[in-house]
Amino acid sequence: MFALADCNNFFVSCERVFNPGLNGCPVIVLSNNDGCAVSRSNEAKALGIKMGVPLYQIRDIVEKHNVAVFSSNFALYGDMSRRVHLTLRQLAPAIEIYSIDEAFLDLRGMERTDLDAFAKKASALCLKNTGIPVSIGVAPTKTLAKIASKTCKNRPELQGGYFLYKQEEIDRILPTVPVEDIWGIGRRFSKMLHSYGVKTAAGFIQLPPDWVQKQMSITGLRTWKELQGESCIDFSDHVPPKKQICISRSFAREITDYVKLSEQVSLFTAMVCEKLRRQHSAAYQVIVFVLTNRFKANVPQQYESRLITFPVASSSTLEINRAVLKELSFLFRKGYAYKKAGVILTGIIPGNAVQLSLYDTTDRLKHARLMQVMDQVNTRIGRGTLAMATESAEGIKMNRQHLSPQYTTRWSDIPVVKSSG
């Protein structure tokens, strides 16, 4: 058996934990640069606010119904996610973190447990420990667990937990699940299935398996089998090292000055190298790219990138940053307004498998010790405590006019409780 724990309207729920006055009110959280709605309370959904809709298109709804608007506070959301996952780890033999607001639980070996009661208890404990409402669906396969978890969200009487295993219940629910909502069926396949008149999960499992494999490959066949109770998707409690790591951002305002652009790109480089070292890896290649605002047709446009290959794979921020800034100087064009930039590490290998070169002049042991000290200080005291002189001291230039405090990750933002007693 597997369980999927899915935090309800996660970003909104995080804001409500520290601002209970938002309960029962319409609330939305915006994407980077306060662009689009990426999390909505049930009250906001009832007003017709769609996922991904730009803020400027719903200004009238926001003002008319006093919708509370927040900028994305990823420091807060990441820490709250960690707290939810910590609670879940105490309840199940193994946990597979799927995203910031979702995690699979491996319940194999717990078949004699009352799994419906387990799901409800786990949901209640998450709420008690973190304040985050969590819907937990239990089923024989991961795909059915996804469906069970979503059923919880739409049925409050289930009290946050639902054990979906009886065939008659599965047969009753699958006709209500649109094919585009099935985990593993993307936009392209759902469009194709609609063209054949298949609109629900019930219709999908009626298709011949040979046809499914031919049209949708082995991945589609796995989903087809999972919906019929046959577990085909492995459980992994180990997160494999990433083969590519990217840090990129859109700027609140276009940047026309090379120094300011280089400061931002240098900051991205530091962040991406930290992630590389965190998984104990090194990279042979780095890509730096810049682009202008494509929505402004009356200004000069540029989208360009440069690939740098190192003779020896590296994880040193100093070495990689030096190469990135050199290539950025060739990319930059005076008179162009840059809206976005990014740094991508690729050609990633384990840090203990780096092939050295006889002609290498870099003191790699010295670089490794320096990076270790930098990471330790920044982890203990806070990111940016030790930084390169070329990094932006102001952080990433993003538009976040509705940002809430970082209640759990910044000393100055920790809530203060006053007692009259």
Q: Beginning with the edge strand found earlier in the chain, give each strand of the sheet holding 37-40 in spatial order.
A: 37-40, 27-30, 68-70
d(C-alpha 163, C-alpha 143), whole Å: 13
Find out whether 133 and 42 touch, Cβ atoms under 8 Å.
no
Q: Residue 248's pLDDT is what? A: 92
d(C-alpha 327, C-alpha 189), whole Å: 40
Q: What is the DSSP string of 339-371?
A: EEEEEEEEEEEEGGGPPP-TT--S-HHHHHHHH
Show the 3-state SS of 184-227.
CCCHHHHHHHHHCCCCEHHHHHCCCHHHHHHHHHHHHHHHHHHC
**Total-model pTM:** 0.80
How many CB atoms within 10 Å of residue 416?
4
- Encode the chain (421 residues) as per-residue pLDDT tens digits: 899 999 999 999 999 999 999 999 999 999 888 889 999 999 999 999 999 999 999 999 999 999 999 999 988 999 999 999 999 999 988 899 999 999 999 998 887 889 999 999 999 999 999 999 999 999 999 999 999 999 999 898 999 999 999 999 999 999 999 999 999 888 899 999 999 999 999 999 999 999 999 999 999 999 999 999 999 888 876 778 899 999 998 888 899 999 999 999 999 999 999 999 999 999 999 999 999 998 888 888 999 999 999 999 999 999 999 999 999 999 999 999 999 999 999 999 999 988 888 888 889 999 999 999 999 998 888 778 888 999 887 777 677 788 899 888 888 888 888 877 6
Among the listed residues 146, 150, 83, 157, the one whose alpha carbon sits nearest the alpha carbon of residue 120 = 157
Structure tokens at 129: 């420990």
CA 60 from centre of chain: 29
How many CB atoms within 10 Å of residue 200?
17
Q: Residue 152's pLDDT is what? A: 92
Domains along the chain? 245-381 (3.30.1490.100)
How many CB atoms within 10 Å of residue 214?
11
C-alpha distances (whole Å) from 265 to each of 48, 134, 274, 284, 399 are 38, 37, 14, 19, 17
Q: Residue 20's pLDDT is what? A: 92
CA 375 from centre of chain: 23
Find out whether 389 and 267 touch, Cβ atoms under 8 Å.
no
